[in-house]
């Protein structure tokens, strides 16, 4: 399995602080989804064009089965991850964001401010996670069964329509 992970943070990109969220995603993916996954990582500033370009590259060129972003999902003016993600999705899967907010709300009432979403692009599943490593540890493991099921369905799509989804340029 090939997985892309993108940390979205102006400060982490500038080297002001260490990216702890990206490595947490890798740890959980290896522990709960695929211990041998190939992970392609990126650290980007909160810039929509750069986020979209990285998502397109990881989905369309690198052929990642799963792309997980961390950060940029709050209500701040620089938090643009959901908008950048929606701009390149084929289909939105709002249940992922709804589930993460419900899980987090039990511990932190301000979790309802998260705008995280998910969806598909071709045969890739894209999931936006919060930027806090603790939130990632709480939210990502419960999503694993749905991630597996979604990837299974996306893989079946390729068997029905060979070569169309990966090479197709989606809006």
Reported confidence tier of residue 170, pLDDT bands at 50, 70, 90: very low
Integer CA distances (angstroms), 58 to 38, 88, 105, 135, 159, in order = 12, 12, 31, 24, 21
Q: What is the mean pLDDT of the chain?
A: 91
Structural domain boundaries enclosing 134: 2-167
- How confident is the model at residue 161, as a pLDDT? 42
- How confident is the model at residue 163, as a pLDDT? 37
Reported confidence tier of residue 157, pLDDT bands at 50, 70, 90: low
Q: How many domains does the chain have?
A: 1
Report pLDDT digits (tens) over 83-131: 999 999 999 999 999 999 999 999 999 999 999 999 999 999 999 999 9
Residue 145: Cβ within 10 Å count: 10
Q: CATH no. for residue 58?
A: 3.40.980.10
Helix, strand, coil percent content, the chain, rounded in steps of 5:
50, 20, 35
């Amino acid at each position: 399995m090939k997985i892309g992970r993108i940390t979205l943070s102006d400060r982490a990109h500038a080297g002001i602080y260490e990216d702890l969220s990206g490595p947490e995603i890798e740890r959980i993916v290896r522990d709960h989804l695929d211990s041998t996954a190939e992970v392609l990582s990126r650290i980007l500033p909160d810039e929509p064009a750069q986020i979209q370009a990285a998502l397109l590259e990881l989905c369309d060129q690198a052929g990642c089965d799963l792309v997980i972003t961390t950060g940029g999902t709050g209500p701040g003016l620089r938090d643009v991850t959901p908008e950048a993600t929606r701009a390149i999705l084929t289909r939105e899967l709002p249940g992922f964001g709804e589930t993460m907010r419900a899980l987090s709300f039990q511990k932190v009432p301000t979790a309802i401010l998260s705008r995280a979403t998910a969806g598909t692009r071709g045969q890739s599943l894209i999931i936006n996670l919060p930027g806090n490593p603790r939130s990632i540890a709480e939210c990502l493991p419960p999503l694993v069964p749905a991630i597996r099921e979604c990837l299974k369905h996306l893989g079946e799509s390729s068997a029905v329509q060979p070569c169309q989804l990966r090479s197709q340029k989606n809006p």
